[in-house]
Amino acid sequence: MKAAAGKVAQLLVVMFLVSLGTFSLTSLMPGDPAVAILGDNQSPEAYAELRDKLGLNEPLVERYFTWLGHVFQGDLGTSMVPPNEDVTSLIGSAFAVSIELAVLALVVALVVSIPLAMISARRPDGLLDRAASATTFGIMSVPSFVSGLVLIALLVNQLHLFPRVGWVGVTDGLGQNLYHAALPVITIALLEIPTFTRVLRGDLVRTLQEDFVLSARAKGMPAWRIMIFDAFRPSSYSLITVLGLSLAQLIGSTVIVETLFSLPGMGRLVVSSASQGNITVIQGAVLVIAACYVLINAGVDLMYSVIDPRIRRVGA
């Protein structure tokens, strides 16, 4: 209980530091932020107005707390770039797209890596294991914008299986939605498959040498049954750790594919804002993503304390 309280306290401190870092992004801007944002051929009034809007005339600490107060009320400010939309709602609609991509990619990655890991672990160092290991190692070295382009060349340009660009929301039909999401999701999943497979394979190999597996084997149970019903669960501990970490990282990974496939998610929002110097959107996005990371981590920790697979392993 005390440990949990410490954890929560640390997460709060982390969020505080992230907000501090995010807020001070503006002070990293070289020269006058107003000039940096508007370009240097505007009227002095325009600069003054923007400076006022950014609160640059107040002392730094005061500005931080004003800003933080607004953030707590769900107000992330307005976009610096016309039509000056509300950042919270900009992020809100983009976030839904990214989350869908991330979750789907996670599912695809698991669906591929779990069987792959089981096949590899069945005969460690056998032909299949080595082939899988070499393949995953190779995939690990392919940046997602490269794999995305290769997939486009093959599946879109050659085979015409998927649309090149564009996004259809779930509300406009699940089929169309998945059809448009498929290629981006596969591209993101490729990033995670190697790690998932390697982590799970390693644990499976270790579990398969344990006594309870050997005795199940001695009883003549089929190998695939042992793998699925006996070995998998006690071997999934590291995988859960990696999963928790990567769900948050995946939101970062969507940046590339959203740009590549022109999808209206967080990634594209962040990239286009970055090239326009649209700092308020960037700040909002960083905060929201960090909050996600912190929450997911808290959730994973909670999951451990509720069902610790290592404790189960003893009884298995």
Partner 1 sequence: MSAPETAALAPTARPGRRRRIDLLLWLCGAWLAVLILAAITAPVLGLQEAQDAAKTLLEPVYQPPSLGSAHPLGTNALGLDMLSRIIYGARVSMAVSISAVLIGTFVGGTLGVVAGYLRGTVDRIIGTLTNTLLAVPALILLIALATVLRPSALNMALALSLVAIPGMIRVTRANTLAFAQREFVTVAQALGAGRARIVFRELMPNVLLSVVPLCLVYVSALIVAEASLSFLGIGLRPPQPTWGNMIGEGLNGKMEDYPHLVYVPAAVLFLTVFSFNLLGERMRKRWDKREVSL
The answer to the question of residue 273 lying near partner 1 (CB under 8 A) is yes
Residue partners of 18: CB distance under 8 A and separation at least 6? 286, 287, 290
The CA-based angle 26-29-32, given to 5 degrees, is 95
Structure token digits, residue 204: 């499976």
The answer to the question of residue 300 lying near partner 1 (CB under 8 A) is no
Query: Rounded to an integer, what is the distance from CA 230 to the centroid of its chain?
Result: 31
Please state the closest distance from residue 291 (CB atom) to partner 1, in A: 9
The answer to the question of residue 30 lying near partner 1 (CB under 8 A) is yes
The answer to the question of residue 259 lying near partner 1 (CB under 8 A) is yes
Please give the Cα distance from 173 to 168 (Å, whole number).
Answer: 8
Q: Per residue, what are the HEC states of 87-154?
A: HHHHHHHHHHHHHHHHHHHHHHHHHHHHHHHHHHHHCCCCHHHHHHHHHHHHHHCCCHHHHHHHHHHH
Please give the Cα distance from 19 to 53 (Å, whole number).
Answer: 19
Q: What is the contact mask toward partner 1 in residues 3 to 22, using x (rule: CB under 8 A)?
A: -------x--xxx-xx--xx
Contact region with partner 1 (CB under 8 A), list: 50-58, 166-174, 215-223, 306-314: 215-223
Contact region with partner 1 (CB under 8 A), list: 65-73, 233-241, 268-276, 303-311: 268-276
Site for partner 1 in 138-177 (CB under 8 A): 138, 140-146, 149-150, 152-153, 157
Binding site for partner 1 (CB under 8 A): 10, 13-15, 17-18, 21-22, 25-26, 28-30, 36, 121-125, 137-138, 140-146, 149-150, 152-153, 157, 205-206, 208-209, 214, 217, 220-223, 226, 248-249, 251-253, 255-256, 259-260, 270-271, 273-275, 277-279, 282-283, 285-286, 289-290, 293-294
